[in-house]
Amino acid sequence: MEDEWEALSRRRAEIEARLAAAPVVIVEGIADPTGVAAIKLGDAQQWTLRLTLDAWRVAGEPWQDGPLNLTRRADDDEIERYRQAARPLQPIRMPARLLMDASPARPEAWLDALPTPIDDPELAERARQLQLPVTYEDTLFGTCRFDRRVGWFEAHANWNGADVRLYLEAATVETLPSVLEHAHALWRDAATWDARVSEQAVADLLKLKQSTWMEEGESEVSADDFKRRLALQSISIDAQAGFEFCFADGDLFFGHVVVVDGSLDRGPRSARIAG
C-alpha cells in the first residue's frame, strides 16, 4: 500500500510533469519577504528552489488574486544567483511555465530562467504597499502585528504572570478575529489550561528525561521539579482552535525546547522535544 510520503511524491511528480508541458509566459510580480528558499530532500542530487510572488500578473494582463508559487531545480552554484536576482519585495520579471489549476486548484509555475529586476511604477507602488505595516487592535492583546515572513500575526501577552509571545495563525486581517476568539477562550481559563498543559508535558516526557537525558550525578527529577523548570515562551493558535505551547526546557533536555500541542475541543494531545 502506498504510504503518505509516496503519495505526496507521486502527486508532486504529476504536477511537475504538467508544468513541464505548460506554455512559457512572462510573469511579473513582487518577491515575498523570504525571497528564494532552497531545500534538498533525501538523496536528491539538486536543490529545489521555491519563490513566492505576493502580487503577480502575466505581462500585459490583469493582476491576479492570491500568491503564485514558483519552483525550479538548481545546482549548488546557482542558488546564490537566484537569491540575488529575486531579493525580498523586489519587482521582477521572469519566463515561467504557468498552470492556473495546479493542485489543490491554485496556480503554480515552473521558473524557466533567472528573474530580472524591472523598473515599473505600478509594481514599485505595489511593493511599497506590501512593506506597509499591517496591525490589528484587540481588546485583550493590544496591537497584533502581521509578520509577512511567516504569514501570521504576533502579539505580546501575559499568561498567568508570564510575558509570552502570542502567534495567531491568520493570513489576513479579515481572518484574524476568528483566531482571536479562540485565543480569548484559552485565556479565559488560563489557570486550568496551564495545569493541563504542564501535566501533558510530564506525562509524555518525564520518563524520557529520567531514562535518557540525565546528566552524570544529577538527582532524579520529580514531576513538580519538571514543571518548575519549564518556562513558557510562546503560545500559537490556529483557525481550527489548535494550539501549541512552547517552553524553554530549563536544561532538562540540554537546551532544547518542549512543545505541547492540542486543541480547545480535545485538550492537550502530546508533548515533544524540539529545537
Specify the residue for cell string 545546482: 75
How far apart (Å, rounded) are the C-alpha atoms in residues 183 and 136? 14
Q: Which pTM does this prediction carry?
A: 0.74
Instruction: Domain ranges for the chain, please list them.
Output: 4-129, 135-274
Q: Which amino acid is at 111?
A: L
What the block records as the C-alpha cell of 273 is: 522535544
* CA within 13 Å, CB half, 214: 12
Q: How does pLDDT run along the chain (275 residues), one tens digit per residue? A: 556 767 777 887 888 888 988 999 999 999 998 899 999 877 788 999 999 998 999 999 999 978 899 999 999 999 999 999 999 999 999 999 999 987 666 899 999 999 999 998 988 898 898 889 999 999 999 999 999 888 899 999 999 999 999 999 998 999 999 999 999 999 999 999 999 999 999 999 999 999 999 888 888 899 999 999 999 999 999 999 999 999 999 999 999 999 999 999 999 999 999 97
How far is residue 78 CA from its own chain's centroid? Answer: 25
Structural contact between residues 242 and 262, judged by C-beta atoms closer than 8 angstroms? yes
* CA within 13 Å, CB half, 57: 10
To the question of domain 4-129 being in CATH 2.40.50.140, the answer is: yes
